[in-house]
Amino acid sequence: MNVSRNLLASLKLIKSHYPCGYRLFLIRNNQTSHATTSEEGTTHFGFQTVKESEKEQKVHKVFEDVAKSYDIMNDAMSMGIHRVWKDIFIERLGPQHGTRHLDMAGGTGDISFRFLKYLQGQPNPKGLKSHVTVSDINQHMLDVGEERAKKLGLTEEKLSNMTIEWKVADAEKLPFEDNSYNSYTIAFGIRNCTHVDQVLREAYRVLQPGGRFMCLEFSHLNSQTMQWLYDQYSFNVIPPMGQILAGQWQPYQYLVESIRKFPKQEDFKEMIQEAGFDLVRYENLTFGVVSIHSGFKL
């Protein structure tokens, strides 16, 4: 109930300052809700229908614009809960020494830093060497991540038996060899890809037999009441907040729209299975605001 009261209070505040923004969700939500249209070569960019060739450029521009303020906005949008979600995500992965890990859409390094710190807290009597590749399609996001790594002391010069590299790459066309990683994570990134099925196939390809795929992504709530409250907060609080804190409205409007276009938990589970993964399951966090999907290449 405290969550509901906080959301309603935030809505009232934003509505008083941005009355037009309050109506935007209702207007946008009346537009087409299909993930892709029947016309070949088109897809969704939030609630807009665009050519497939345009989506990558538009998404790239979104994250180029928000790169420097991305972590601040994550804290503001989720009231800091995103940190807990990411901690749980890494705990579920349970990294082990000797692992080669690919952190796709790793951008500012949040998942990779947790991966490395988790290993630092585990005994390594055999001195096994671990490696993480932080990969993102946007160089601006990686630049922010590398700077953060230096400040946190998580660089190769200061890491023991661990290496980290930063690599620009498209999740749909990975430049890595088959069977080259033990684990693959993608957090809050897969919904921004044009062909999610191709991303999953590429993840399967680069994982070694026995390797694990894990995805942390915004999802859909089971409760209609909670989903309504969440929608109101997402569409009427987050874009104005982006304008106030980061000077950006449209990128955050896109981000909340993209969440609504992403498949529901069971549908995404089926997509992961269709890509070849076994033992696929998911876990909802915070009533289903986000979910963790997991699968193995067996």
Q: Could you tell me which residues are annotated as the binding site?
A: 108, 136, 170-171
State the number of CA atoms in the 13 A half-sphere of 212 facing the CB: 17
Number of residues assigned to the chain:
298
Which amino acid type is present at position 7? L
Rounded Cα gap, residues 229 and 237, in angstroms: 11
Secondary structure letter of residue 155 according to DSSP:
S
Q: What are the angstrom distances between the C-alpha of 55 and each of 52, 59, 226? A: 5, 6, 30
Q: Is the dihedral of CA 199, 202, 204, 208 positive or negative?
A: negative
CB atoms < 10 A from the CB of 253, how many?
24
CB atoms < 10 A from the CB of 173, how many?
10
Rounded Cα gap, residues 28 and 231, in angstroms: 12
Rounded Cα gap, residues 88 and 78, in angstroms: 15
Q: Could you tell me which residues are annotated as the binding site for S-adenosyl-L-methionine?
A: 108, 136, 170-171
List the structure tokens of 251: 């990128």
